[in-house]
Every structure is written in structure tokens, then in C-alpha cells.
Structure 1
Amino acid sequence: MLTDLNHTNCSGCCSSGNRIFTVSFMIILLLAILLGNSLILAIFLGTKHIRTPQGYLKTSLAVADLALGILVVPFSVYGEIRMLSLNASTAEGDYEVLFVGSWHPCYLIGPVFAGCTLVSISTIFLLTIERSIAILKPLHKEVVITRRRTLLLILLSWTASFFLAMTPMIFSQGGIVLEYNHCSRMCNYAPAPASPAHVWQILLLFPAFDFSLLGGTLIINALSLTTIHQYTRRRKLLSGTDQEPLRVSFSDIKAAKTIGTLTMAFTVSFTPIAVFVVGNVLGYQWCTFSFFAFWILASNSCCNVIIYSVCDQRFREGARQLFISTRCFCCRTFER
């Protein structure tokens, strides 16, 4: 039986002022996700020299983040604005006014949130593999990493991620359902009435899968960055000699560092969710903590554009070209 701490934890955070602040935060985050990932897609799809296997993987990551901005976050914004207009509390029963009819929107939005999160993790893992081959086996990069294989892996990543997102409902035999949680302000998995306690253990699949991929990603990143460090030292030693330099390009090195930064950002944002899921399985329900955990993870969806802008010179050049093209188009339209 879960320890119900919702009312005690939320008693100080349910005022209209706090709810207005929450809605403002959600709207700002929504705009950042939509604008940031739309910019990423425009640059990667509109610039020919970025249409590479790495570019396709980054595009897949942007699509997963954009899906959160199109479906998941707007529904939470709608829920909070609706409750604010009704001047209702954050009690669980009050949120039933959001749903009319027999179909519950969370049965769409919940799997989208879980599936896109899993897609992000698996895509970062694939990006790390792609960069490690470019760093560790630079002569084999063009043979091993092809567009066809990359697109096939992207399709496999999306299929496997959304299948895993549906497993709690498929294999729990009705013991786990999706509902709008008044603590996290998102559609979350929840135990069905009279469901056995061990059903919750199915949700451990998520942190187990995620941390397995993240752990492997961190190890591979560490190996690649160690190789880059050794390469840098060797390049200094070979400077001024007639020996053949190593074949690792500067762009491959910068890309590996960018992927390493993406991995660290996602690991930091995902860890609170893993702690929350494990706590729920153990019988705890942290209301305030669940809000911060879920929305820290959602905030990561707008961080990629910042990381690319700081670490990726090609992305900055693509953004500059896009800005120039857009300005020229607007000028021609205005002159007409």
C-alpha cells in the first residue's frame, strides 16, 4: 500500500499564486521546446553538409523532444489553466472535470511521454556508438556507418521504445493504468484499484533499461574521450616531424565532445525520475518531488539546442545561413 503524502506535501503549494507561477513556467518551457527543436530540424533538414548519419540521429532526437512539446506539455498547460479557471484545488478527484467521455487522453499522452523519453536515451546511445567508431576506428567509419544502417537503427529505436512504454499496461493484465497525476501534473502510470502490490515492480523495467543504456553510454564516452586525449598528446609529439599524423579529424573530436555533453545533461535530468520510480515501488509517493522530477526531465527537451549552439560549429554555421536566408526572404516579400 502506497504511503499517501499528497495532501501534506501539496498543502503549501496549491494556492492560486503558485498555480499561476506553475502555468507560466509550463508555457515558457513549451515555447522553448517548440522553438528550439523546430530550429534544430530546420537546420539539419535544410543544410546539405549536415545530412549525415550523425545528423539523422540528431534529427530523431529533436523529433522525440518536439513530440513532448506538441502533446505532453500542452495537455499539462491545459489542465492547469482549466483548474485555475474553475478555482479548484489540486486534489485528485478535482481533476476528473478535465475529462469528458469514456476515453482518457492519458492513454495517448502517457505512452508518448514514456516512449519519447526512451527514444531520447536510445538515440543518445546510438550517437555515442557512431562517434566512438569515428574516433576509435576512423578508417572504417565510412564503411560501418552508413545512412541506410542509421535509418534502420532509428526505426528500430522508435519501435522498441514505444513497445517498452506500453509494457506496463500490456503485461500487468490491467493492474497498471494511466491517469493524470495531480502532483506531477502529467499523465503517469498508476496502480488500478485492488491491484496486487507486486504489479508496481513492472515499472522497474524503465529505470533498469534506461540506466543500462546510460551506463554503457557513459563508459563508451569515457573511452572515446580518453582516446581523444591520447591523440592530442601524440599530435603534439609528432608536430614538426615527418611521421604520418593520426586520421581522427577535428570535427570528429568536437562531435564526440558534444555527444558527451548531451549524455551528461540527460543523465542528470533523468536521475530524479529513476529515484522517484524506485521510491514508488518501495511504497513512497513524494508529491512535491515528483513535480520537480518530471519537469526537470521535460526541461531537458529544450537543452539540446543550447548544447549544439555552444559546442557544434557546424550547427552555428547552419543557424547563421538559415538566419540569412530567412532575412533575405522576408526582405524580398516586403519589397513586393
Structure 2
Amino acid sequence: MLSDLEFVLLGLTDSRHLEIILFLFLVIAYFLILLGNITVISITSVNHFLQTPMYYFLRNFALLEIIFTSTFIPSTLYSLLTERKMISLPGCFLQMLLFFYLGTCTFFHVATMSFDRYIAICRPLHYTTIMNNRFCLQLVLLCWTVSFLLMFPPTIMIVQLPFCGPNVMNHFYCDTSLLLQLSCTDTGFIEGLMLIILIIIIPGTLMITAVSYGCIIITILHIPSSTGRRKAFSTCSAHLMVVMIFYSTCIYRYIRPAQ
């Protein structure tokens, strides 16, 4: 039966010594990720002075990071600890769906946070009117909904693919590109559709972020005092750094030309 099919994930290394080192490193990293994001959620939830749209989006982003990293780190830790490198076909589909759905949602959430910073710095007098609680909730729900609508069609197509060849993946989680290579039918249409979706998601949200920060930079340069410029830039510098790291790694991983 199709549901009985299992894939072999070769993982990160064949060396047991390196597997133990990687296990310890990932345990510490995962603990710090959980601790940091739970701290952010807790502090921004209970502190009355942090009940602003910026921290509302930050709180949702922290929750998204917890769920996203939990889609593959626990299973990787289990594989490193037990040396069991098998994953069932339904489990592979679920991991693939959650990974790309939550990853897509992260892109839209980053763009939403950029828009929030644009309103705060470029239109400060209208900030509280525009970024009210209802609108912030609608933006968050829109991120989740659009992400689902984009990832649902290719996911359904991949789930219906037949797999009759080798069941070995040279990866530590169910990567979509590797999964498509294991199918015994033509996957050109799905690969093209995935590329179109990635182009919509990554450059599309990057354009929103770039336009927002372009307007922010112009506004900051027109602030007469250096103190005011530093204060305005400090409210978005951390987010800008995250944007640069996040997009550069994802563009290199998913949109760079094939070697």
C-alpha cells in the first residue's frame, strides 16, 4: 500500500561521532529558539506598554518561528539520537506541507511588519487610526490564508504522485525537490508551478519590503535632528537585518540558477 511506503533520509553525516555533536548543537539551538520566542510572547503579552501593533506582529512572528522550527528539528533530533532515518510517506507529505506553508507565511509576515514600520515612521499621525486592532488581526489572517491558497494546489498534486523507484533522500527532512525526483512520472508541470509560486512569494514580498524601507529611509533623511534620525532608525534596524539575512539565504536556496 502507498501509505506503507517509507523514505530513507540520509541525514547530515554518516559519522556517529559527528551525529552526537550535531545532536547536542541542535538541542541547544532548539532550546534557545523556544526560550527566546516564548520569552518574547510572554513579555509582549503581559506588559501593558508593549500592547502596540509592532509588538503584536512580533508576538505572532515568534509563534510562527516556534511552529516552523518544530516541523523538522524534533524529527532530526530523533533521527540523530536513535539512528532511525526512516519517514513514512504520509509523514513526509505532512512535513513538506508544514515546512512550505509556514515558510510562506513567514515571508508574508515579514512584509507585513515592514508595512507596519512604514506607517509608523512615514505616517505617524495616522498610525493608531490605520493600524488598529481589527486591521492588525486582518493582516495576520491574510498572511495565513494567502499562504494556504498558494501552497494547497501543488501540495495536492504532489500527494497524488506515484512513487515506485528508489526511496532514498540525501537530506535530513522531506525536501520537495528531492521528493519530486523520486516520483516515477513526469513532474515538470509541478516543478514549474512551484517555481512560479516561489517567484510570487519571495520577490513579491521582497518588493513590498523594499518599497516600505525605501520610503522609511527617505523619511528618516528628512528628519532635521540627528537624535530623531537615530531614534527612527532604531525602531526598524533589527527587522531590517532579519530581512537581509532571511531573503538572501532563501533566494540563494530556491531561486538561484541550477548549477
Asked if Structure 1 and Structure 2 have the same fold, meaning a TM-score greater than 0.5 normalized by the shorter chain, the answer is yes
3-state SS, counterpart of residue 186 of structure 1: coil
Give the count of matched residue pairs. 242
Give the match for residue 328 of structure 1: none
After superposition, give the CA deviation of every residue in 1:196-220 in whole Å (9 maximum; x if it has no partner): 1413222213431122212331232
After superposition, give the CA deviation of every residue in 1:108-147 in whole Å (9 maximum; x if it has no partner): 2222221221121111101111111122222221221111
Q: CA deviation at 1:63?
A: 0.8
After superposition, give the CA deviation of every residue in 1:173-209 in whole Å (9 maximum; x if it has no partner): 72498xx974331122221522214132222134311
After superposition, the Cα gap between the structure-2 partners of 1:167 and 1:181, relative to the gap in structure 1 and judged at 3 Å, is: farther
Give the match for residue 188 of structure 1: 175
1:136 aligns with 2:127: no
After superposition, the Cα gap between the structure-2 partners of 1:42 and 1:64, relative to the gap in structure 1 and judged at 3 Å, is: same
The structure with the largest alpha-carbon Rg is 1
> TM-score normalized by structure 1?
0.63
- Alignment equivalent of 1:274, drawn from 247, 254, 257: 254
Whole-angstrom CA distance in 2 between matches of 1:249 and 1:48: 26
Whole-angstrom CA distance in 2 between matches of 1:175 and 1:217: 36
User: Structure 2: 5+ residue runs without aligned partners?
Assistant: 1-9
Whole-angstrom CA distance in 1 between matches of 2:19 and 2:153: 33
Structure 1 segment 11-50 matched on structure 2, within 5 A: 13-50=13-50
> What amino acid sits opposite 2:211 in the alignment?
I
Give the match for residue 201 of structure 1: 192
Q: How big is the alpha-carbon RMSD for the aligned residues of Structure 1 and Structure 2?
A: 3.0
Whole-angstrom CA distance in 2 between matches of 1:229 and 1:107: 49
Q: CA deviation at 1:35?
A: 1.0
After superposition, give the CA deviation of every residue in 1:234-280 in whole Å (9 maximum; x if it has no partner): 236xx9xxxxxxxx89765422223222211312332332247x63x
3-state SS, counterpart of residue 14 of structure 2: coil
Whole-angstrom CA distance in 1 between matches of 2:125 and 2:184: 59
Whole-angstrom CA distance in 2 between matches of 1:268 and 1:228: 25
Whole-angstrom CA distance in 1 between matches of 2:168 and 2:24: 19
Give the match for residue 211 of structure 2: 219
- The question of whether the paired residues in 1 share the 8 Å contact of 2:202 and 2:247 is answered with no
Give the match for residue 52 of structure 2: 52
3-state SS, counterpart of residue 104 of structure 1: helix
User: Structure 1: 5+ residue runs without aligned partners?
Assistant: 1-9, 87-94, 240-247, 285-336
After superposition, the Cα gap between the structure-2 partners of 1:115 and 1:35, relative to the gap in structure 1 and judged at 3 Å, is: same
After superposition, give the CA deviation of every residue in 1:17-42 in whole Å (9 maximum; x if it has no partner): 23223323322221121111111111
> What amino acid sits opposite 1:138 in the alignment?
P
> What amino acid sits opposite 2:36 in the alignment?
G
3-state SS, counterpart of residue 70 of structure 2: helix
Give the match for residue 228 of structure 1: 220
> What amino acid sits opposite 1:170 in the alignment?
I
3-state SS, counterpart of residue 245 of structure 2: helix
After superposition, the Cα gap between the structure-2 partners of 1:249 and 1:140, relative to the gap in structure 1 and judged at 3 Å, is: farther
Q: Which moved more, 1:56-65 or 1:184-193?
A: 184-193
Whole-angstrom CA distance in 1 between matches of 2:250 and 2:203: 9
Structure 1 segment 64-143 matched on structure 2, within 5 A: 64-83=64-83, 95-96=85-86, 98-99=87-88, 104-143=90-129
Whole-angstrom CA distance in 2 between matches of 1:45 and 1:249: 29
- The question of whether the paired residues in 2 share the 8 Å contact of 1:225 and 1:256 is answered with no
Whole-angstrom CA distance in 1 between matches of 2:168 and 2:32: 24
> What amino acid sits opposite 1:207 in the alignment?
L
Whole-angstrom CA distance in 1 between matches of 2:244 and 2:168: 28
After superposition, the Cα gap between the structure-2 partners of 1:152 and 1:266, relative to the gap in structure 1 and judged at 3 Å, is: same
> What amino acid sits opposite 1:220 in the alignment?
S
> What amino acid sits opposite 2:62 in the alignment?
A
After superposition, the Cα gap between the structure-2 partners of 1:106 and 1:194, relative to the gap in structure 1 and judged at 3 Å, is: closer
After superposition, the Cα gap between the structure-2 partners of 1:249 and 1:150, relative to the gap in structure 1 and judged at 3 Å, is: farther
Whole-angstrom CA distance in 2 between matches of 1:206 and 1:251: 37
3-state SS, counterpart of residue 187 of structure 1: coil
After superposition, the Cα gap between the structure-2 partners of 1:118 and 1:197, relative to the gap in structure 1 and judged at 3 Å, is: closer
Q: CA deviation at 1:226?
A: 2.7
3-state SS, counterpart of residue 71 of structure 1: coil
